[in-house]
Structure formats: C-alpha cells, structure tokens
Structure 1
Amino acid sequence: MAAGRDETWEAVTQPAVLHQWFGWDYDGLGAEIQQIFVDQAALLAPERMGWADGSYLEVNGGDDRATVRVIREGSGSAGSERYDAIEEGWRAFLMQLRFLLDRRPKGRRRTLYLTGETTGWQALALAEGEWQRFGPRVGWAVDGDGHLVVVAGRLPLDDRDAGRMEVTVSTYGLDDAAFETLREEWTKRWAPVAAAAEVTTATDPSPES
C-alpha cells in the first residue's frame, strides 16, 4: 500500500474508511462492516486483528508504505485448486483497499456489483485496461474513466467453461445522474454475456451467494 502503517491500520478498522473499499454497496453493508470488523474482531497485537475461525489480518510497514496480509488456517498448496469464497473475497477486497490508498480517489465510493454465469475472458473483456491477476480467480484493472474493475470467478479466469462471475466496479465522487448513466452502461454490457445477469447497487438487497 502507498500509505504508512498507521493510515493503513485505520483503513481496516474505522467503519467510515471501510465503506470506501470493503465489499460492495447494498443496503446491509454497514451492518456487515460492523459485524466483521467491530463486533467479531479481536485485537491480537498492535496492527493485528483476528476472528474466531483462526484467521487474522495484520498490517506491517513504516511511515510511507505498508503491507496488509490476511492469513487463514487450512489454506496451503491446495488453496489455488479449490474454490474458497472467503479467500477469494479477501483477494478482491484487498485490491479495492490498495486502489483507495494508492490512487486516493476523491468523493464517496459508489459501486456496481454484477453477478451471473459467464467465462472469465468474457468478464475481462467488459473493461479496457491493463488487467492484472491476484491468484487464478481474481483479476483487476482501472478502466479509461478511472474506475476500478475487479472480476472474481468460481472457476479460474482462464477456464473455458462458464461459471459464476462477480464483477465489482468502484467509482468515486459521482453524482446521482452520472452514477445512473454508468449503471445503465454496465447493465447493457453485462446482460448479453452473462446468464442470470444481475446488477446490485445500494438500493438493492444483498445478492445471494
């Protein structure tokens, strides 16, 4: 992260900052953040929090740069072969955190969360940009408008078969009209390439996993 240890720790512990990167917008996001990072999290050491399942998050670094690691018990060499929703979720969310701290976008975050059945290459073709991978099932890019696009699949993104894909588009500082225009544009892109295509915003209920 292009931020010091203290600022990064604040980003993973303060609900107001967590809203700027964690998950995606839906009407229950505030309650989810409260549950995960406040009610259920325990402080294990300075800059380290943990949960009852044995997983923990830690921040290391100095005044200018920091590293965030999430460690889960039971993950190992087999972790890249089998799908683990929690693990892949953390991969996607940490890319969103790094975007926030590296790019420092202005304004309130608003997201589009796209779900449906398609192939990885079709999902990655939704946005132009230099795609990078974080493991076999998560890819991210910054599109031409400066929005962060994160694609996460139940199957590896290089798999030729179609599977459930989740695409999170993070925007910052858009007013209602601009955000609605963007939502319409992405809906038109997503619907033709994904079976059971859905687009979730803050006014929608949480999608089923």
Structure 2
Amino acid sequence: MAAGRDETWEAVTQPAVLRQWFGWDYDGLDAEIQQIFVDQATFLAPEQMGWADGSYLEVTGDDDHATVRVIREGSGSAGTERFDAIEEGWRAFLVQLRFLFDRRPAGRRRTLYLTGETTGRQALALVEGGGEWQRSGPRVAWAVDGDGHLVVVAGRLPLDDRDAGRMEVTVSAYGLDDAAFETLRETWTKRWAPAAADADVTTAADSAPES
C-alpha cells in the first residue's frame, strides 16, 4: 500500500474509511461493515484483527508503506484450484483498497456491481480506453478505465477459462454527482446486458444481490 502502517490500519478498522473501498454499494453495506469489522472482529495484537473462523488480517510496514495480509485456513492440497468465495472476495477488496491509496481519489465512492453469466474474456472486453488488466490470482483482474474508474472483475471460474460462469464486476467511481453517476450506470448497463446472461446491476438503492 502507498500509505504508512498507521493510515492503513485506520483504513481497515474505521467504518467511514472502509466505506470508501470495501465491498460494493447496496442498502445493507454499512450494517455489513459494522458486523464484520466491529462486532465480530477481535483485536489480536497491534495492527492485527481476527475472526471466529480462525482467519485474521494484519498490517505491517513503516511510516511510508504498508502490507495488508488476510490469512485463512487452506484446503490442505497444494495448488488446488477450488473456488473460495471469501478468498476471492478479499482479493477483489484489497485491490480496491490499494487503488484508494495509489490514486487518492477525491469525493465519496459510489459503485456499480454487475453480475451475470459470461466468460472472463467477454467480461474483460468491457473496459474501454483504460490501462492493461492486472491479475490477482486466476479469478480476479482489475484495470482503470479511460475515465479513471476502477473496474474489478471476479469469476467463479478462472478468467482464462473458455466456459461461461458467474462473473462479478465492481466499478468504483469517486466524487460523482447524481447526474454523472446515473450516466455511468446507464453506460455500464448497456454494455453489460448483451454480454452476460441474467445480467443485473446493483447500486445503493438495491438490496443485497444473491451470491
């Protein structure tokens, strides 16, 4: 992270900052953040928190840079390719945290959360005018589009797989007023609808989507 240890620790413990990178917008996001990071979290050591399942998050580093690690129990088989929703979720969320520190965008974060059945290749073709895709494991990729929005794609199947599977695309935009955000929503809805079966778009006005 392009931030010191103390600032990074604040970002993973303070709900107001968590709201700027964790998850995606829906009407229950604030309650989810409260549950995960406040009600259910136990502070194990300086800059380390844990949960009842044995997983924990730690922040290490110095005044200029920090590393965030989330440690969870493995399957016991080296090299396994089984899908783990929690693991892939953390991969996607920590990409969003790193973007927050790298770009330090101004204004409130607002997101679009796109779901549907498609291939990784089709999902990755949605970004226009941006940088190259970066990978975080076989199922998660991210890029910044031409307007500076972060786009994170996460799949139930590896993104290089030729078969279609459930894909989740989170578009993070900062500082947009209602009119600009509505334009963004319409643009992405038009892109997503023909690219995915059972395409859906979730925003803050919606309830939690089914996983």
TM above 0.5, yes or no, is yes
- Structure 1 57/76 Cα, relative in aligned 2: closer, same or farther at 3 Å? farther
Contact 1:147 1:170 survives alignment (8 Å):
yes
1:207 to 198, 206, 209: 209
1:156 to 149, 155, 158: 158
* Structure 1 unmatched runs, 5+: none
Residue in 2 aligned with 1:62? 62
Q: Is 1:141 aligned to 2:143, yes or no?
A: yes
1:187 to 181, 189, 208: 189
* Structure 2 unmatched runs, 5+: none
User: What CA distance in whole angstroms lies between the structure 2 residues aligned with 1:111 and 1:131?
Assistant: 19
State the AA in 2 paired with 1:3.
A
Contact 1:27 1:204 survives alignment (8 Å):
yes
- Structure 1 76/181 Cα, relative in aligned 2: closer, same or farther at 3 Å? farther
Counting only pairs closer than 5 Å after superposition, residues 36-115 of structure 1 correspond to structure 2 as 36-75=36-75, 78=78, 80-115=80-115
TM-score using structure 2 length: 0.97
User: What CA distance in whole angstroms lies between the structure 1 residues aligned with 2:80 and 2:191?
Assistant: 29
Residue in 2 aligned with 1:172? 174
Contact 1:80 1:136 survives alignment (8 Å):
no
Contact 1:142 1:149 survives alignment (8 Å):
yes
Superposition deviation, residue 75 in structure 1:
4.6
- Say what the alpha-carbon RMSD is for the aligned residues: 1.0
User: What CA distance in whole angstroms lies between the structure 2 residues aligned with 1:14 and 1:66?
Assistant: 17
> 1:41-87: per-residue Cα shift (whole Å, max 9, x none)?
00000000000000000000000000000000125655650000000
Which secondary structure does the structure 1 equivalent of 2:49 belong to?
A: strand
Which secondary structure does the structure 2 equivalent of 1:6 belong to?
A: helix
Residue in 2 aligned with 1:5? 5
Please identify, of 102-111 and 72-81, the stretch whose mean Cα deviation from structure 2 is larger.
72-81
User: What CA distance in whole angstroms lies between the structure 1 residues aligned with 2:164 and 2:49?
Assistant: 36
User: What CA distance in whole angstroms lies between the structure 2 residues aligned with 1:77 and 1:91?
Assistant: 20
TM-score using structure 1 length: 0.98
